[in-house]
Chain A
């Protein structure tokens, strides 16, 4: 694979996707410390939001340690080089949240929908694209669930609403490099040349790096990852590793590799409540194609109702659940416990 001379933007997820394994309990102080270190390491873009995006604060997804506004104001005020993004899932957050985040000083808004439902983002992408200088990104989650042709139709919708960058998001960490190549390649052919393409991976099948490289080769110019992989499931593509690989391959990220390694080792790993690794359940997510943030919810319900979390996750995959359906997990666990005669 020859990627020499390519220039890409890496986007760190520790302070958003990383909120999932942290039960949304990362403190403002921790965020500020991480953001400052990212700034020093010249990470171009970091995401800061509740794990489930703006307005994600809920019983369903978890109450965070601080509000989106508190996080965003604190982080935006300490970074100089690094720019800040926020995530918004229509159906959870609204344009009111978007306006608030812009007021806090974000430079990028990412509007995320399930891969078949791009049209619910018209309101939000449309409005964001009208805001002067706001980098507006469309983000199609669980992109493994539909073939490349259908996915590209949805990406085009987001592009037509005003997104200047669109993402293929492997929320379940299910994709293999060829799946990524097919999708990115077709998107690159079909979208406007000025529309950027991004890839967001999860490491549930240990494909984070390989998939990200496949994406770059096929024409993606933005790659998500997180230092030490802090993210849902087995985490995101471990960013410090990806940066090292990029250096070896002659891909320009602009990030200081050793500083990135230090962030991972000295700041992120000590923060973790449990190791982020491909344990049995995280592997099941990748194998069964299940939304990565279901992991802890399945573990909790399994413990509460004396079930196997793997069984719960496999069943969630079989039922074709989509991102955000965390409420389904306890409901399903109750059904399974009743069937097992243990309720």
Chain B
């Protein structure tokens, strides 16, 4: 079966992990290029070793590569700030963009909740919300698809070692974008996101708490079943997505306590926050790849 060629912009931890996932696991995608801005970057060195075309000249370098013409899909694993230009260039060249930054130019995509919608809308740029969003929005939705959620709040606790400089410099983008995703994709009327960084050694595995306030008394059985179903779906691409406790019911409060262990492809297992991002991005890309290969996907260039 032929594969779709993809490029990854960003040769840091996320970009490298994503590259390894594409190479190891994807039946539909293959690496067309890895794009960095630092010639000394470890990610670019690995790619070179594996025979993957690389550039250290950023997006301009990518466009200038002879391989660019064959690339259908581009992942952006840089920063929200850099994404605006990457998005514009990729759109101009008709490349499908999967945005792993919190820029949120395109519609949000959480694979188990609204991937089909994003594909059906022929969006040229989809945004993967945030790591905390990928870890929690499926469960907000698992509650809101049963009954009305007037307010949902998530607390994501990540280890210091897994919080990169991008996240640290722009922590507000995390809280804003995640809260927005909780509303728009999770289906809660109001959303709030909190992120805590914990430096304990050995590093703690990503923890996520999801609190939903339902408008009416919660239907405990239906919500519990829905939550378990959703967890099983997410586990298909993040096997370490684990329910620790709950759902706990207390009046109209529904609380779910999760732990997210990564696969350890490149990033350490405790960094479930980064793994769920790359896994969700890959999952999304594969659905697009499937559609492109079957000829049923015609991106709407005038859309996002």
Contacts and interface: CB of A to CB of B under 8 A. Distances in A.
Contacts of B195: 91
A327 B155 contact: yes
Interface of B: 151, 153, 155, 157, 160, 163, 165, 168-172, 174-176, 192, 194-200, 207, 209, 211, 213, 244-246, 248, 253, 255, 257
Nearest to B208: A327
Q: Is the interface of A mostly helix, strand, loop or mixed?
A: mixed
Interface residues of A, number: 29
Given A92-B194, A322-B198, A59 B253 contact: yes
Interface of A: 58-60, 90-92, 94-96, 114, 116-117, 119-120, 122-124, 319-322, 324-325, 327-328, 330-331, 334-335
A335 B259 CA distance: 13
A119 B168 CA distance: 6
Given A330-B248, A331-B209, A334-B245, A114 B199 contact: yes
B197 A114 contact: yes
Contacts of A120: 163, 168, 171, 197
Nearest to A326: B155
B171 A90 contact: yes
9 contacts: A59-B253, A60-B153, A91-B174, A91-B195, A117-B168, A120-B171, A123-B172, A322-B198, A327-B155
Given A60-B209, A91-B196, A122-B169, A325 B157 contact: yes
Nearest to A343: B245
A94 B193 CA distance: 11
Contact of B176 (A59, A94, A334): A94
B197 A58 contact: no
- The residue among B160, B194, B198 with the most chain A CB atoms within 10 A of its own CB is B194
Contacts of A330: 245, 248, 255, 257
Nearest to B156: A91
B199 A116 contact: yes
A122 to B, nearest CB: 6
A334 B211 contact: no
A94 B200 contact: no
Nearest to B257: A331
A66 to B, nearest CB: 17
A92 B211 CA distance: 15
